[in-house]
A and B are shown apart, each in its own frame.
Chain A
Amino acid sequence: MSPRAMLCASMVMAIAGAVLVSCATAQAPMSAADAIEKRKALMKEQGAAWKNVQDKTKAGDIKAVVPDAEKLAMTAKQIPALFPDGSLDPEKSAAKPEIWQKKGEFDAAAKNLETWAVKLKDTAATGNAEQTQAVVKDFGRQACGTCHQPFRVPPKQ
């Protein structure tokens, strides 16, 4: 095969590869029902992780908090994508319309959760009980509450 033919063949393969990769990674837009279901599941997962953090901190099992804090940080990244346009449904979801009216603030609130979760993970990793308790004391209000307060209809109970 001539060098020119080899170049052409490799270009064709590269383009075909790129097309295949993009086809594999491209996702159909998430339906509203799907998004609501997924974000509810994610919030439940986060609630469970946050409860673990509190229980472990109270029990003095400080380093065991790390995986739960990691989970909170990882899931925080997923929040913005789970609130696509058109997924406001007051019947099925506590999400307020402000999420879409102030998308920048909402995304920043999700980022704030991630930042706090990383701080919690790093503090817990040192094993320092006092410092970890101090982060845990503020976490609910500063990491979760700052998003729930403006963007979630308060729970009834």
Chain B
Amino acid sequence: MWSGVLGAALATCLLLAAAIPVWAQGTPASAAEVARGKYIFGATGGCGCHTVPKGPINAGGRRYDGPFGTVFATNITPDRQTGIGTWTDEQIITAIRLGRRPNGERLLPVHPFTVFNGMAEEDLKAVVAFLRTTPPVNRANQPKKITMPLFESVFLPTWLAAFAPKESPPPKAPTAGVARGEYLVRAVGHCGECHSPRTMTMATDNSRFLAGNPKGPEDQAMPNITPDPDTGIGKWSVEEIADYLGTGNKPDGDVAGGLMAEVIDGTLSGYKDLTQADRVAIAQYLKSIPPIRNKIGK
């Protein structure tokens, strides 16, 4: 009899031990929350920075060179060895919006955490719920190569405190209209990271928000998307902007290229999967911001 009781107790302990990671992650997410997370994941452009083109999705490894050195995107699949499978929901959310790993180490702002700080808590939770459903990929992260002396200990904290613009989270995600568009552009879609010029300190210059960047990420020139009629997209109608975000088709018969094509296509989802209402909200917001004359390219 005792052996039976011991056996049952042991089995219970084993079951509880197996359940600990589930506890750590909170209650299982509903299908609706996962779907919402996939949608918001798409509204970020599919987190494509974490995917090498044509490589395994979210498995990291994409290289980014900066004046400080080189970093490689990290594995954000739920793989327990090399990804974020053992992180709690809160730890993942902290990394996304505050740029801190579970061990307290700071992420470099190549991951735009100061902008993602403007995402609503409910959307961040939904993204985490979705990430947990994605296929795990066992791929070890590559260490960064920092070449600038005192970069992480002195320069970065100073820069973050003094120069980096930081978005603030709304109590709830706006659901419609220009406010929704602003939320999707400024925070979730992090459009300013590519389309806003940089100051001398390499911080985004929000006084010229979305006015284009002649030398954007991966050395690509990023167009001015303010409503300036000559150097921006002032001649595009709301419908044309919304169409472009859903299809990549430009009003002149050309199609999106470079990183813009990547974020429209996304990975597991992208801008193309946004609802017509959200694409129109983005377009309405883009038409509402101050036009800035700034010619990019020829």
Chain A residues at the B interface, C-beta cutoff of 8 Å: 47-51, 54, 136-138, 140-141, 144-145, 148-149, 152, 154-157
- Does A140 contact B260, Cβ atoms closer than 8 Å? no
- A47 with B254: CB separation less than 8 A: yes
Question: When the two chains form their complex, are residues A140 and B249 in contact, meaning their CB atoms are under 8 A apart?
Answer: yes
Nearest Cβ on chain A to B51's Cβ, whole angstroms: 14
A157 touches B296 (CB 8 A): yes
Task: Please judge, given known A-B contacts A51-B252, A156-B298, whether A140 and B257 are in contact too, CB under 8 Å.
Answer: no
User: Across the interface, do B255 and A154 meet the contact criterion of CB distance under 8 Å?
Assistant: no
Inter-subunit contact A141/B297 (CB<8 Å): no
Q: How many residues of B contact A (CB 8 A)?
A: 27
Question: How many whole Å from B236's CB to the nearest CB in chain A?
Answer: 11
Contact indicator A152/B257 (Cβ below 8 Å): yes
Is there an interface contact between B258 and A149, defined as CB atoms closer than 8 Å?
A: yes
Chain B residues within 8 Å of A154, by CB: 220-221, 257-261
In the complex, which residues of chain A have a beta carbon less than 8 angstroms from the beta carbon of B272? 141
B257 touches A141 (CB 8 A): no
Contact of B223 among A48, A50, A137, A157 (CB under 8 A): A157
Bound complex: CA A47 to CA B223 (Å): 20
Interchain Cβ contacts under 8 Å between A and B, 24 examples: A49-B253, A50-B249, A50-B255, A51-B251, A54-B253, A137-B246, A140-B247, A140-B255, A140-B256, A141-B256, A141-B261, A141-B264, A144-B255, A145-B256, A149-B258, A152-B257, A154-B221, A154-B257, A154-B260, A155-B254, A155-B257, A156-B221, A156-B297, A156-B298
B265: CB under 8 A from chain A? Answer: yes
- For residue B291, CB closer than 8 A to chain A, the reply is no
Q: What is the distance, in angstroms, from A56's C-beta to the closest C-beta of chain B?
A: 13
What 5 pairs between A and B have smallest CB-CB spacing?
A156-B297, A154-B258, A51-B253, A47-B253, A154-B257
Chain B residues in the interface with A (C-beta under 8 A): 220-221, 223-224, 231, 246-249, 251-262, 264-265, 272, 296-298
Interface of A, secondary structure class, is helix
CB distance from B180 to the nearest CB of A (A): 23
- Contacts of A54 on B, CB cut-off 8 Å? 249, 253
User: Whole-angstrom distance from the CB of A41 to the nearest CB of chain B?
Assistant: 14
B279 vs chain A, min Cβ distance (A): 12
A137: chain B residues at CB < 8 Å are 246-247
> Known: A148-B261, A154-B220, A156-B221. Contact between A48 and B297, CB under 8 A?
no
Interface core residue of A48, A136, A144, A155 (most chain B CB under 10 Å): A155
Compute how far the CA of A119 lies from the CA of B243 in the bound complex, rounded to whole angstroms: 21
CB-nearest residue of chain B to A54: B249
Closest chain-B Cβ to A71's Cβ sits at a distance in Å of 12
Partner of A156, one of B223, B256, B261, B265: B223
A50-B253 in contact given A137-B246, A141-B248, A156-B296 (Cβ < 8 Å): yes
- Asked if B255 contacts A141 (CB within 8 A), the reply is yes
Most B Cβ at <10 Å: residue of A48, A136, A148, A152: A148
Interface centre among B221, B223, B249, B272 (most CB of A within 10 A): B249
- Asked whether B265 lies within 8 Å of A145 as measured between CB atoms, the reply is yes
Which of A49, A136, A138, A141 is packed against the most chain B CB atoms within 10 Å?
A141
| CA distance in complex: A48, B298 (Å) | 21
* Nearest Cβ on chain A to B295's Cβ, whole angstroms: 9
User: How far in angstroms is the closest Cβ of chain B from A54?
Assistant: 6
Q: Which of B231, B253, B265 contacts A141 (CB 8 A)?
A: B265
**Chain A residues whose CB sits within 8 angstroms of the CB of B255 once the complex forms:** 50, 140-141, 144-145, 148
CB distance from B259 to the nearest CB of A (A): 8
Q: Are B223 and A149 in contact (CB under 8 A)?
A: no
Q: Nearest chain B CB to A133's CB is how many angstroms away? A: 10
Given A51-B253, A54-B253, A140-B255; 10 other pairs, CB 8 A cutoff: A47-B253, A137-B247, A138-B247, A141-B261, A141-B264, A148-B261, A154-B257, A154-B260, A157-B231, A157-B297
Neighbouring A residues of B223 by C-beta, 8 Å: 156-157
When C-beta atoms are compared, the residue in chain A nearest to B224 turns out to be A157
Q: What is the minimal beta-carbon distance from B5 to any residue of chain A, in angstroms?
A: 63
